[in-house]
Structure 1
Amino acid sequence: MSNVTEHIHSYLEPLAQEGKFCGAILASHNGSILYSNGFGKANFELAVENTTKTKFRIGSITKTFTAVSVLQLVQKGKLNLDDPVSKYFPNQKDGDKITVHHLLTHTSGIPNYTDDPHMLEWSAQPSSPEKLIERFSQNDLEFPPGEQYKYSNSGYVLLGSILEQISGQSYELYLKEHIFEPLGMKDSGLDTPGCILDFRASGYHLSENGSLLNAPFFDPSNAYSAGAIISTIEDMHIWDQTLHTEKLLKKSFIDQMFTPVKGEHDYMYGYGWIIQDTPFGKLVAHSGGIPGFSSVLIRFLDNGVCVHVLSNILQDVSEIGKKIAEIIHQQNPAKSFS
């Protein structure tokens, strides 16, 4: 076992034993897997362990797939980033002022439909994309399009529907035919609760006193193209490695995807990715949170370091991902990890 592997395990094992982490983690450098392991239970009631094969809801990391899919349409000349939203949604309020670019970058001003305080009441039932869009299409914009950044799942729901309108396929089928199957991501897809799915993790959350509870039921159709994908750390490793190639997008589109537009606090947002400059070079990342699950994907473009963290407890795992990346960088990735 290499030093970096030992250090990562020494950091994670106490967290798992103390109940501070439950899930699966994979870390790599230039495509070589440095660490891959599962911790805690995929199902506490049945005493089933998490492994590298466990399937987790990845939440908003789904947006990275939606962004790539939309850019594929742009690359094929079927969609323009400057297209007004009104072209596809005549009933969207101020849709003539909002563009595809605004949707991708969270600069549309459309209110975030998941901020609805009553969401858990209606999200236990399935929703069509049309029904989701009805929930926000007539709401006033929070600011003029392009002037500010404010995270909005609503924009990514519209992007999924645009994808369906142009491709003539459902969002699920488009991902299957244009991303998952070509890449061999055999354990990824849109989560469908009614289907029997091998190695699916159950989701949990913590009560105010720290007790573990079953997460409230959430039908993932309510997350749609903003957060409905289920995957494994092994498939997410394939996703990371593909984005270093031109299998799905030409380099010019990949570079555009990772170009910062607007942001807040200490980060910027591009097309489906959070972007930061760090002492270790350019970082592109995304986190995810959905009832019962949390996740983070951290990629350092300049040195090939990547960390995937998928958890079946809804709690912030970003610091865990950052700490693992820090451990790797302390080993001087520009040289060797041995």
Structure 2
Amino acid sequence: MIRKLLFILLPILALLSGCHKHSFNKPRLDTLLVTLNAHEQNMGSIAIADNGTIVYQKAFGYSRINGTIKTPANVHTKYRVGSITKMFTAVMIFQLIEEGKLTLTTTLAKYYPQLPNAGKITIAQMLSHHSGLHNFTADSGYLNYMGKPKSEAEMTAIFAKQKADFEPGIKAAYSNTNFVLLGYIIEKITGKSYPEELKERITTKIGLEDTYYGTKTDSLNDEAYSYNYISGWSQVPETDMSIPGGAGAIVASPTDLVHFIDALFAGKLISNTNLEHMKLMKDNFGMAMFIFPFDDKTGYGHSGGIDGFLSQLIYYPADKLSVAYIANGIRYPTNEIVADALSIYYNKPFAMPEFKSVELKSADLDKYLGNYSSVKMPLKIAITKNKTTLIGQATGQSAYPLEARGNDKFVLDLAGVSLRFDTVKHSFYYFQNGETYLFTRDK
């Protein structure tokens, strides 16, 4: 069971257990979200549908913060959904297969012969992350161009320079490159743009009014910005949506997302045969789907992360239950919120989270500052401060604020991490996933 782990680029694969009930304690779920908002632990929006009917939807926090001017989010606020986009792309690929314009065995070489192993890589392998194509967003150079518009030619030139990570089909590794290319292939086959095909093949077809291919965030169109929290919410830089494309460029509301996945499982978008292709797991990867176990139930869906937004979309076929959650401000883990919401929905034991941080002065943090390393973990962690907030940053990763919980203990609830410092020995113990690592300050 995974309730405290955060996966930024990979899907979250486990939640809590429960049993299905058609009625649930909605005020208790309200209280959970109000508590998160009151303690500035999360901002976002959630929707739950039972047999295609919305039974709960609520937004909390703000879609935009501009100094003292704060715009409250509502259930129609749109958020960047990141890799949930891949499910939409896969649906359109399967629609083209059903129209006889493509097959699962078609090779990438038909469209992009210049790419590594193009003659060996099939559409099926791209859909299930078995292609071996290198994940372009994992390269350090990606940060240098992520905010700038890129054409198909420019992106494929980047992909062509990247060596394959492994031979196609021998294993699976998550790669956004697969779905950017699948988005381009949709355009090549149809002669229309991805946004046009998305509208024609999915959103108009099933009546989604708050789902579309994103551009620069437009707050006047009720689109949310994303925020990090360091002594308050600060806006996160935006990726230009020409870059993630079919891998992560869609903007949507949670309500539209549950309608989408309901329609998918109801056979309104692709055949049941192709839905089974999406659901079939190999090396824990389906075709734009992953499994989300909930006790004896099996859910299917995807999670997403882009520019500080985190999202989850899950469908439980046995109960015809769907849930979508999108956050644009995260301190408390999004998978924890979905797990808590499902526990409330299924009337399972549930403890309301408590947030009891300790207030420290800037000078109190000085004894913790420095660069730390561990013989058991191949990275260093830099401990710095921003006014009265301690900041932790691991090698090659973003910086995150650490909350003081007393007795030299600090936590990052977002990732289920806790640090306990020993200022005499100039070290700290790092706790995560039941594992403990000793870090010592460099001299």
Match of 1:295 in 2: 311
Q: Which amino acid aligns with 1:43?
A: R
Question: How is 1:1-338 mapped onto 2 (pairs within 5 angstroms)?
Answer: 3-45=24-66, 46-193=69-216, 198-207=221-230, 211-262=232-283, 268-313=284-329, 316-330=333-347
The more displaced of 210-219 and 17-26 is 210-219
Shift of 1:234: 2.1
Aligned-residue sequence identity (percent) comes to: 31
Shift of 1:55: 0.8
Alpha-carbon distance in structure 2 between the residues aligned to 1:171 and 1:282: 31
Go from structure 1 to structure 2 and tell me whether the alpha carbon gap of 1:217 and 1:279 turns closer, same or farther (over 3 Å shift).
closer
Alpha-carbon distance in structure 1 between the residues aligned to 2:102 and 2:153: 20
Q: TM-score, normalised by structure 2?
A: 0.70
Alpha-carbon distance in structure 2 between the residues aligned to 1:278 and 1:203: 29
The more displaced of 85-94 and 310-319 is 310-319
In 1, are the aligned partners of 2:45 and 2:327 still within 8 Å (CA)?
yes
The more displaced of 148-157 and 135-144 is 135-144
In 2, are the aligned partners of 1:205 and 1:213 still within 8 Å (CA)?
yes
Q: Deviations over 1:249-305 (max 9, x none)?
A: 11111122111122xxxxx22111112444242211211111131111122121122
Alpha-carbon distance in structure 1 between the residues aligned to 2:226 and 2:219: 16
Shift of 1:184: 1.1
Q: How many aligned residue pairs are there?
A: 324
Match of 1:335 in 2: none
RMSD value, Cα: 1.9
Q: Which amino acid aligns with 2:256?
A: D
In 1, are the aligned partners of 2:292 and 2:314 still within 8 Å (CA)?
no
Shift of 1:4: 2.6
Q: Deviations over 1:80-112 (max 9, x none)?
A: 101111111010111111111110001111110
Alpha-carbon distance in structure 2 between the residues aligned to 1:150 and 1:215: 27
Q: Which amino acid aligns with 2:77?
A: T
In 2, are the aligned partners of 1:298 and 1:321 still within 8 Å (CA)?
no
Question: Which segments of 5 or more consecutive residues in structure 1 lack a partner in the other structure?
Answer: 263-267, 333-338
Greater RCO (Cα-Cα under 8 Å, separation 6 or more)? 1
Report the 3-state secondary structure (helix = DSSP H, G, I; strand = E; otherwise coil) of the residue aligned with 2:161: coil
Alpha-carbon distance in structure 2 between the residues aligned to 1:258 and 1:13: 35
Shift of 1:206: 3.0
Go from structure 1 to structure 2 and tell me whether the alpha carbon gap of 1:19 and 1:232 turns closer, same or farther (over 3 Å shift).
same
Report the 3-state secondary structure (helix = DSSP H, G, I; strand = E; otherwise coil) of the residue aligned with 2:338: helix
Shift of 1:238: 1.6
Report the 3-state secondary structure (helix = DSSP H, G, I; strand = E; otherwise coil) of the residue aligned with 2:346: helix
Report the 3-state secondary structure (helix = DSSP H, G, I; strand = E; otherwise coil) of the residue aligned with 1:261: coil
In 1, are the aligned partners of 2:217 and 2:224 still within 8 Å (CA)?
no
In 1, are the aligned partners of 2:217 and 2:223 still within 8 Å (CA)?
no
Alpha-carbon distance in structure 2 between the residues aligned to 1:93 and 1:144: 10
Q: Which amino acid aligns with 1:272?
A: A
Q: Which has the larger radius of gyration?
A: 2
Match of 1:336 in 2: none
Alpha-carbon distance in structure 2 between the residues aligned to 1:189 and 1:49: 22
Q: Deviations over 1:106-127 (max 9, x none)?
A: 1111110001223232111111
In 2, are the aligned partners of 1:125 and 1:218 still within 8 Å (CA)?
yes
Q: Deviations over 1:7-29 (max 9, x none)?
A: 22222221121111101111122
Alpha-carbon distance in structure 1 between the residues aligned to 2:294 and 2:210: 32
Alpha-carbon distance in structure 1 between the residues aligned to 2:310 and 2:228: 10
Structure with more of its chain in helix, by fraction: 1
Question: Which segments of 5 or more consecutive residues in structure 2 lack a partner in the other structure?
Answer: 1-22, 350-443
Report the 3-state secondary structure (helix = DSSP H, G, I; strand = E; otherwise coil) of the residue aligned with 2:275: helix
Q: Deviations over 1:201-222 (max 9, x none)?
A: 1221234xx5421101321111
In 2, are the aligned partners of 1:179 and 1:248 still within 8 Å (CA)?
yes
